[in-house]
Amino acid sequence: MASSAIGLINESMEENILDAALKFIEAIPHSRKLGMVVEELGDGRAVISMPYDVSLIGDPVTKVIHGGAVSALMDTAGGAAVVSHPNAGVGTATLDFRIDYMRPATPGQVITATAECYHVTRTVAFIRATACDADTKRPVATATGAFTVMQAPK
């Protein structure tokens, strides 16, 4: 097979992976409700943002976004990173997810989660993620997780 034909096949496979990952995110009702936006996606990496919204405030005095919304953002980014990984398959579910909250997100600012799928076995994919507001040098939270790997039927 000519190298250009292999390139087209690989490009087509990458497009299918990205399409599946975008559909995965769009299919999650809470992702839509929280206003999540896919900023970058591909090759086991996902960047998803969530706008500040007063309906997500967890502390009415400080106006800080609730940790559950940050958790949902990071979990969604982790799942998207898995689904976009070329060796991980067409779907996923969270098996284990650990978050360390470092500081409150600054009220009024967009929160962005960046997740990387760094290892894939036959049945489990592993991710690490970081959530930041505008101060990217000081994360709001970090996370690690394990997700199922669901291969497409052959």
Report in angstroms the alpha-carbon separations of 24 from 20, 29, 42. 6, 11, 13
pTM of the predicted model, to two decimals?
Answer: 0.86
Report the distance separating Cα 32 and Cα 16, nearest Å.
Answer: 22
CATH class of the domain comprising 3-148: alpha beta
Q: How confident is the model at residue 9 (pLDDT cuts 50, 70, 90)?
A: very low
Q: How confident is the model at residue 10 (pLDDT cuts 50, 70, 90)?
A: very low
Amino acid at 47: V
Domain extents in the chain: 3-148
Report the distance separating Cα 77 and Cα 67, nearest Å.
Answer: 15
